[in-house]
Each structure stands twice: as structure tokens, then as C-alpha cells.
Amino acid sequence: MISLTLKQTIKRNLFGIITVLLSAIILLVFLFASDGITSLQEIGPSLSVPWLLLAVGLSAGTWVLEGLTLNLFCKILCPQWTFRYSLDIGLLGILYSALTPFSTGGQPMQIFYMKRLGMDVGKSGSVIAMKTLVYQVIMVLSALLMVVMRLGFFQREVSNFSFVTVIGVLCNSTFIALLLLFTISRKGTEKMLKKGLQFLHRIHLCKNPEERYHRINDQMMLFHNGARIMGKKRRVYLAGSLLTVIQIFVGYLVPYCLYRSFGFSGQDVFTIMAAQAFVTMVSAFVPLPGASGGAEGSFYLFFSMFFTGGTIVPAMVLWRAITYYLNIAAGAVAAGFVDKLPPIVDESPLHHDHKKEE
């Protein structure tokens, strides 16, 4: 008989469990529909273990770089913050992004846990918004750079390449524009907040919209004050941008290590990194948790020209395990540790600034 504690745990994590099962089912469909299991059994013994371990190490390296970048931004508004906190919060963001549609759950959960660790919502919101903005801008710019440098190759080799690329750029650019508007325009966010609460009130999902507006707006003012302070730290943005570039390109190297682990060596590293950039950009607008289906499909589309001889499905399974399931496992471990961390004492509170910005 299942214990009460286990039942509560399952209920609390039901959405995440369903998400992981959905992604696993999609992988199994790929495996069984293309004789992938047979291929994996045949190829497995001949795989290069050092290259596989390097792929895992690079994936883990992106977690460390995520923590380092987050810590740079946290230190601006909360000098007492430490790298240990940033590493756990970074892994939690990766975990919940993997478990929610459009990767939308990572940032809110990071703010929630940062509040529990002693940083107020206004500060943590500013940090996460700026960190996310830097990451998204660099991710799109890096993908565009690779589009320009490998445009002819992928247009020849990938069907509907131009269409997929345009959609990916448009979706990510729209997200960046909305995040910029939210970050720099206090009036704009106030108007959206009022209209949103009024709409929720009309459909009976929000009681006392005026009271709710003033309570949320207090935190919004703290958020904008924090964003303004952070906006003056150009050296921090430069360092954060550099770390983000390294993080993104380290992640792009994982498929190349898998490519070498299968014994292939004919394709140059930059072309394979470019293919991973396109996969990342395309997967961003798939409206399923972990981009399930879209991530696998886009990997198959962009990498089938490299993993030949029946190796594409085994390669996709290993890639998904390293870049998705391993992230979930690491994030789950971080979730267990973060509850045991003592909250910091924030000695540098932001003051409300009621002056309206133009």
C-alpha cells in the first residue's frame, strides 16, 4: 500500500512526472518505429567512452556557467548572495524550464525560491529578467551568425530550412521585445497589469482587482528600481554576456562529441554546432514541456545528414538523455539541497521610488 508521504509527493510533482513520461514515450516511439533499439544495441559496444564522457562533462559545465552568470547579477543587488545559492537556483530554473510548456516555468520558480532564500521579489525579478534577456539575445544572435556562415550548406541539405529559421527567429525576437518592454517601461507594465487584472475580474478569476493591483504594483516598482540600478553596471553585463557566450557554445559542442563518439570525423565542428543552434532556436517555440516531439524532430531533421548508417535515432536518444533527462536529474538534486540552505540576511533593501518614469 502506498504511504501517505509518497502519495503527497506524487500529487505535488504530478505535472513533472507526466512531462517526463510524455518525453520518454516520444523517445520510445522513435526507437521502436525505426528499429532504433536494435541499432543502439549494435552500436553501443563500439561507442567511444571518452567522447561520451566529454559530452556529459560539457553539459554539466553549462550548469556551472549558468550559476556563475546568475551570481554576477545577484551580487549587484544583494552582496551577501553566494555562488552556492546561484548554482542551485540556476539548476532549478533549468529543471522547471524542462517541465513546463514554452519553458515558461523556470523563471517564476527561480524567483519563488530566491524569495525563500532571502532575496525580495523585486530584486529577484530584476535579476532573472536581466539574466534571461542577456541569454535570449545572445542565443538568437549566435544562431543568426551561424545561419549567415552556413546558409548555403543547410539550404541544400535541409528541407524547408528557410521557413523553419524565420519562424524560430520571429518567435524568439518577439519574446525578447516583450521582455524589454516589461523591463524598461514602467507605464507600459502598469497598463498591462491593470488590464490583465480587470479581464480576470470580468471572468470571475480575480476578486478585488484594485487591491490586488496595488499589492503587485509595489513589487513592480521594486523590480524597476532594481532594473535601473543593474542597467548602470556595464562591466557586469559585459562579463555576464561573455560567460553566456561560453555557456551557449559549450552546449553546442555536445552533439559534436556524440558525433565523434560514434566514430565519425568527416564534418567540421562549426557546422555541427550550427545545426545545434538551429535545433535550440526551433525547439524554443514548441508549446510542449521540454519541447517534447519538437526537440526530437528538429534533431532528426538537422543531424540525419551527419549520423548516417542507421545511427541517427541512437544518437538522438543519447543527445536527449544528456541534454534533457540529465538536466532534470541535476535539477531534482538541487531542489533537495535548496530547502536546506539557510536564508540570507539582505542588508541592502531597495527603496520604493514612486516617481513615474517617462
Averaged pLDDT score across all residues of the chain: 77
Separation between Cα atoms, residue 171 and residue 102, nearest integer Å: 11
pLDDT band at 256 (very low <50, low <70, confident <90, very high): very high
SS3 292: coil
Q: What is the dihedral of CA 206, 208, 213, 216, to 10 degrees?
A: -70
pTM (2 d.p.): 0.76
- CA-nearest of 94, 76, 86, 73 to 117 is 86
Q: Where are the domains of the chain?
A: 46-338
Give pLDDT tens digits for 147-204: 778 877 887 877 666 666 677 767 767 767 776 666 666 666 667 767 776 776 677 6
Position 206 pLDDT exceeds 80 = no
pLDDT band at 345 (very low <50, low <70, confident <90, very high): confident
Measured between alpha carbons, how far is residue 130 from residues 65, 72, 112, 191 in Å? 16, 11, 16, 21
pLDDT band at 221 (very low <50, low <70, confident <90, very high): low
**10 Å Cβ neighbour count for 196?**
14
Containing 165, the helix (H) or strand (E) segment is: helix 161-184
Task: List, in order, residues 6 or more apart from 353 with CB less than 8 Å away.
Answer: 221, 224, 225
Give pLDDT tens digits for 27-44: 566 555 555 555 566 676
Position 85 pLDDT exceeds 90 = yes
Please give the pLDDT value at position 91: 94
CA 101 to chain centre: 11
Task: List, in order, residues 6 or more apart from 160 with CB less than 8 Å away.
Answer: none
Position 357 pLDDT exceeds 60 = no
Asked whether 93 and 125 are in contact (CB, 8 A), the reply is no
DSSP for residue 105:
S
